[in-house]
Amino acid sequence: MFKLKKIKINVNNTKINIIIAWCVVFLFFLLLLWGEGLLFSIIHASFVTATLILMSFIESKILVKYFLERKKVAMFYFLNFILVLGTAWISVFFEFNMVSIMKNFLPYELPQPKNAPEKFVVPYLIRLILFTAVVAVSVITNLQISDREKSRIMNELKSEKLDMELRYLKSQINPHFLFNALNNIYSLAYTHDDSAPASVLKLSEMLRYVMVDCQADNISIEKEVKYIENYIDFQLLRIEGDANVKFDKKIENCGFKMPPMILQPIIENSFKHSRLENDPDGYVYFSLVQKGCYLTFVAENSVKSNVIIPAGVQVKKVDSNIGLQNVKRRLNLYYGNDYSFEIKNNDNKYRVTIVIGGK
C-alpha cells in the first residue's frame, strides 16, 4: 500500500511539474511579445505555447515511442523534420493573419499589432530554430524518462525475483491435474491397457520438463509444444467418449525461444470452462503458429451459459481469472509493448488470442 501511494505521489508531482513548466513557457512568450499589445500578446503567446505542447505530445507519444524506441531512426528524423517545418509554418502563418483569423471568434475587430513583422522569412527561420530546440529537449527528456523507467523496472524485478520464482514453480503443475493423471494411469494399468506405459512416459516427460527445463528463462518452442500435447492427451484420458479437441500447429523454427509454461494457464482455462464432459456440443480448439520472430497462439472453447441476456443489452464481462492475469503479467515482463493479448467472450464461446515477439 505504501509503495502504491508513493507511485501515485510521484505521478502527481510529475504532472504538476509539467504544468508549471508550460506556464513558465507561456509567461516567457508573453513577455517576449508584450510590445504587440496586451490582447495580442496573450493570444499570440497562447497559440505558440499550444503549438509547442502539441509538438511535445506528438514527439513523446508517437515519434519516440513508435519510431526511435523501435530503432526506426531514419523515419524518426524524417518525421521530425516534417513536424518542425509544418508547425513553424503554421505558427508564422497565424502571426501574419492573426487579425483576420480572430475576427471570426471575437464580436469586435482587433487593431493591427504594434510590432507586426513585415517579411515571412525571418520569423519563419526563428521559429525553425526555436522548434528544433524544443524537439531536441523533448527527445532528450523522453529518453531520460524512459531510461529511468527501465532502471526502475529492473530494480523492481530484482527485488521481486525470489518471490516470483517461488510462486511460479508452485503453479507449474496443477495438483488436481497430477492427481487425475496418476488416477488415469492406475486405471489403465489395472485394466492391462496397452497405452499405460506410454502414459507413464508422457507424465515423466512432463515432470522432467517442469522440474528441469523450466528453470531457464526461455525454452525452445518444440519442448513447450510437446508439453502441451502431453497435457491434452491426459485431458482426453479423463473424458469418456469422443471429445471435440483439436490442436493445430505450424512451426517455422523449432529453436524459437519463449518463456516456459506461459501458455499453460490459458490451456487449462479452456478445458476447465468448456464443459466437455457434460456438453455434447462442447469443444476446445488451439492454434499455434510460429513465423519469423513472432508467435501467434489462439485458444477457443465452448461456454455453456445459463444466463439469458435480453436482446440489445450489452454486459461488460470482467476477466477475474488469476491464471490469465498472471499470463498478462509475464508477457509484460518479458516483451514490454511487443505483444498483444485479446479476449473475446460471448454467451457460447470464449477466445483468447496472443501475439508475441521473439527475443
Which residues pair with residue 349 across a beta bridge? 302
**What percentage of residues in the chain have a pLDDT greater than 70?**
74
- Residue predicted with more confidence, 312 or 83: 83
Average pLDDT over residues 189-208: 83
Lowest mean pLDDT among 9-18, 57-66, 125-134, 300-309: 9-18
- Residue predicted with more confidence, 282 or 187: 282
pLDDT at res. 109 = 60
DSSP 111: P
Residue type at position 208? R
The kind and range of the H/E element at 285 are: strand 284-291
Smallest CA-to-CA distance from 258 within 285, 295, 303, 230 is with 295
Q: Where are the alpha helices (DSSP H) in 171-304?
A: 175-190, 196-211, 221-238, 264-274
**How many angstroms from the chain centroid is the CA of residue 330?**
12
Give dist(CA 39, CA 302) in Å, integer: 66
Q: Is the pLDDT of residue 307 over 70?
A: no
pLDDT at res. 93 = 81
Average pLDDT over residues 288-298: 93
* Other residues' Cβ atoms within 10 Å of the Cβ of residue 171: 14
Lowest mean pLDDT among 163-167, 286-290, 297-301, 324-328: 163-167
pLDDT at res. 174 = 67
* Other residues' Cβ atoms within 10 Å of the Cβ of residue 10: 11
- Residue predicted with more confidence, 226 or 135: 226
pLDDT at res. 114 = 53
Q: Is the pLDDT of residue 76 over 70?
A: yes
Could you tell me the three cell numbers for 78? 524524417
Smallest CA-to-CA distance from 17 within 155, 164, 141 is with 141
Average pLDDT over residues 238-247: 79
The mean pLDDT of the chain is 77
Confidence of residue 193 (pLDDT cuts 50, 70, 90): confident
Which residues pair with residue 313 across a beta bridge? none
Residues 6+ apart with CB under 8 A from 353: 296, 297, 298, 340, 341, 342, 343, 344
Dump pLDDT digits (tens) for 32-54.
666 666 676 777 788 888 888 88
Q: Is the pLDDT of residue 299 over 90?
A: yes
Q: Is the pLDDT of residue 198 over 60?
A: yes
pLDDT at res. 128 = 85
Q: Is the pLDDT of residue 351 over 80?
A: yes
3-state class of 293 per DSSP?
Answer: coil
Confidence of residue 1 (pLDDT cuts 50, 70, 90): very low
Is 0.85 topped by the overall pTM?
no
Residues 329, 339: contact at Cβ < 8 Å?
no
Residues 6+ apart with CB under 8 A from 307: 347
- Residue predicted with more confidence, 227 or 140: 227
Confidence of residue 89 (pLDDT cuts 50, 70, 90): confident
Domains of the chain and CATH, by start: 2-166 (no CATH), 171-357 (3.30.565.10)
pLDDT at res. 208 = 86
Could you tell me the three cell numbers for 350? 470464449
3-state class of 342 per DSSP?
Answer: strand
Q: Is the pLDDT of residue 297 over 80?
A: yes
Average pLDDT over residues 142-163: 72
* Other residues' Cβ atoms within 10 Å of the Cβ of residue 235: 22
pLDDT at res. 2 = 40
Confidence of residue 106 (pLDDT cuts 50, 70, 90): low
pLDDT at res. 285 = 94
